Structure 1
Amino acid sequence: MTQTPDILCIGSVLWDVIGRAPVAMRQGSDVAGRISRLPGGVAMNIAMTLSRFGLTPALLTAIGRDAEGDELIAACKARGMMTDTIYRSDDLPTDRYMAVEGANGLIAAIADAHSLEAAGAKILAPLSDGSLARPWTGPVALDGNLTIDLLSDIAASPLLQQADLRVAPASPGKADRLMPFLRTGNGTLYVNLEEAGLLCSAQFDSSADAAQALLDRGAARALVTDGGNSASEGSPAGVITQTPPKVLVTRVTGAGDTFMAAHIAAETRGANREEALQRALTAAATYVSGGNPA
């Protein structure tokens, strides 16, 4: 490997198939809209935003040796990501995600990340085979599409004990996979209000309450978003809260990943807590309104 990455992005890199309609939808709706296919997955979305902010991410994931996989690798390279660290499988297909969005937000989604789960610890080989600095001491963006066993291993791994771990669930349905990071008190958690409630077995009225509850449950640090409502960051120094800009929402898939990546990029450049949260909220607002944050 001739280039050293600024950050590792570990998790799902796949094809997003997104159907969007300009009208409000409900179960059973059949409306006109647009269907697009683009590179996606939590790790990929984070890496794309980091690249736009001038960082060089390396991807640790599983991609099949099929036509879709070759096309996805090319898309990653074109977006400034390092792909030598990707595990290519001969017998596992490239993963996919499908979602339907209306003017009233996400209607339904299905994540097919079975190949990533099946590859398991094979995706972490670059951390131990000399491909990357050992131990890794830089930032790591980690997503919850990995199995609970693998996430537990990562939370306690000596190869990442000195790393700046940033962790997000892939969806509310996978929020409980972040429990190992509460038990070890390792890493910064990026969750929405629903996910925070699932991790704490509670319901919260505000992001500030949720951030404090995560700290009380053992989190080293937590950022909690709540759509267009206030977002909060909790750490041993206390909880801070800010309100995102008001924008017209044109897309929602990937907004949380954009928020996380922008926050990491801001702190990498030396921003303080308040500045980093503000930049992350602005980037996410730009994204959901249809723009590309940079």
Structure 2
Amino acid sequence: MTIACALTVVGSINADITATTDRLPAAGETVGGGRLSRSPGGKGANQAAAAARLGARTRMVGAVGRDAEGQEMRQALRAAGVLVDDIAEATAETGTALIMVDSAGENQIAVCEGANAEVSLDGIEFGEDETVLTQLEISMDLITELAAPVPGHLVINAAPALPLPAEVVDRADLIIVNETEYSLLPQLQEARLVAVTYGDRGSALLAHGEQIGFAEALARKPVSTVGAGDAFCAALTIGLRSGLPGEEALRAANRVGAATVMDASAQPEFLTLDHYLDSSTPTVKDER
């Protein structure tokens, strides 16, 4: 397939600090024996890195601090093939996510927004042929502002789940959520097009609350589920915007998500999206 998608991601950039333990602690409990790692993250940056590696021409609109972490996050995106000229340098420190992951790949995440609170559209222009993908780790005011100047396709990953202004729901060409987020946002039943992920049960497309497509998930024992939803968002957006039918785009996005859960990083390496159209092909670079 030809990937015909110029994608701009407007969103968060975080430095991920991850502790991997046998199990997640209960409230007030300390769990020892953890392994600590640091890596690039943030829902926006994860989606941009995935999109670029999957083959889309991708730029990132976001903000980082004037600190070493900010330089590292910018460099990680550049290395993934993302255009980084529209990443601003903020007065606040680079955003940080504190993550705990257990042996089954389940996680707990606390996000300190830092520079993400300073993401701005000042001086940013969008073309008619651009697809814009955003998430809710930046301010809702910015999401609302974004709905007006985007002349092309607007995709919103409504995560974490927050009520969306009616004008944003009406403007969005596609809204992507997981099943929990969908249940928390009943307003999405009236949205033009919604993609819902159901974990190991697959994913679906709904038009005005009615299912119009479904694809089963690939069975995987996850290493980490951090970043899987972000990779799914990137893959589905690219697939649909490149002309794939809905269910075919869902299947490819599910395979990309399955590849992500087998990697401890939130920004793993990927093959280009066309490799995920055939279930007999590898799902990650190392399998080639």
TM-score tier (shorter): 0.7 to 0.9
1:185 Cα deviation (Å)? Answer: 4.2
- CA gap of 1:126–1:81, structure 2 versus 1, over 3 A, is farther
1:148 aligns with 2:149: no
Partner residue in 2 for 1:70 = 71
Whole-angstrom distance in 2 between the partners of 1:163 and 1:20: 41
- CA gap of 1:178–1:269, structure 2 versus 1, over 3 A, is same
Number of residues of Structure 1 aligned to a counterpart in Structure 2: 260
Partner residue in 1 for 2:176 = 190
Question: Is the partner of 1:50 in helix, strand or coil?
Answer: helix
1:190 Cα deviation (Å)? Answer: 0.7
Question: Is the partner of 2:195 in helix, strand or coil?
Answer: strand
1:265 Cα deviation (Å)? Answer: 2.2
- CA gap of 1:285–1:51, structure 2 versus 1, over 3 A, is same
Contact 1:8 1:60 in 2 (8 A): yes
Partner residue in 1 for 2:199 = 227
1:106 Cα deviation (Å)? Answer: 3.3
Whole-angstrom distance in 1 between the partners of 2:166 and 2:217: 28
Alignment of 1:189-268 (within 5 A): 189-200=175-186, 214=188, 216-217=189-190, 219-235=191-207, 238-268=211-241
Question: Is the partner of 2:106 in helix, strand or coil?
Answer: strand
Whole-angstrom distance in 1 between the partners of 2:51 and 2:144: 26
The code of the aligned residue for 1:11 comes to G
1:115 Cα deviation (Å)? Answer: 2.3
Question: Is the partner of 2:55 in helix, strand or coil?
Answer: coil
- Residue-by-residue CA offset, 1:83-132 (whole Å, 9 max, x unaligned): 1111112x211111111011344342111113222x15xx21242xxxx4
- CA gap of 1:186–1:267, structure 2 versus 1, over 3 A, is closer
- CA gap of 1:139–1:95, structure 2 versus 1, over 3 A, is same
1:257 Cα deviation (Å)? Answer: 0.3
Give structure 1 regions of 4+ aligned residues with deviation exceeding 4 angstroms.
177-180
Flag the structure with more relative contact order, 1 or 2, with Cα contacts below 8 A and sequence separation at least 6: 2
- Residue-by-residue CA offset, 1:172-225 (whole Å, 9 max, x unaligned): 4xx32476532x24231110111111111xxxxxxxxxxxx73x42x1210001
The unaligned stretches of length 5 or more in structure 2 are 272-288
1:68 Cα deviation (Å)? Answer: 1.8
Aligned CA RMSD, in angstroms, stands at 2.2
1:151 Cα deviation (Å)? Answer: 1.5
Partner residue in 2 for 1:30 = 31
Contact 1:230 1:244 in 2 (8 A): yes
- The 10-residue stretch of structure 1 (223-232 or 282-291) with the greater mean CA deviation from structure 2: 282-291
1:72 Cα deviation (Å)? Answer: 1.9
Contact 1:181 1:187 in 2 (8 A): no
Alignment of 1:48-197 (within 5 A): 48-89=49-90, 91-117=91-117, 119-120=118-119, 123-127=120-124, 132-133=125-126, 135-155=127-147, 157=148, 159-160=149-150, 162-172=151-161, 175-177=162-164, 180-182=167-169, 184-197=170-183
The code of the aligned residue for 1:273 comes to G
Report sequence identity in percent: 23
Whole-angstrom distance in 2 between the partners of 1:180 and 1:25: 39
Whole-angstrom distance in 2 between the partners of 1:178 and 1:189: 13
Question: Is the partner of 1:61 in helix, strand or coil?
Answer: strand
TM-score calculated relative to the size of structure 1: 0.81
Contact 1:179 1:199 in 2 (8 A): no
The code of the aligned residue for 1:83 comes to V
The code of the aligned residue for 1:140 comes to V
Partner residue in 2 for 1:293 = 270
Whole-angstrom distance in 2 between the partners of 1:99 and 1:170: 16
Whole-angstrom distance in 2 between the partners of 1:76 and 1:179: 33
1:43 Cα deviation (Å)? Answer: 1.0
Whole-angstrom distance in 2 between the partners of 1:180 and 1:29: 44
TM-score calculated relative to the size of structure 2: 0.82
1:284 aligns with 2:261: no
Contact 1:19 1:35 in 2 (8 A): yes
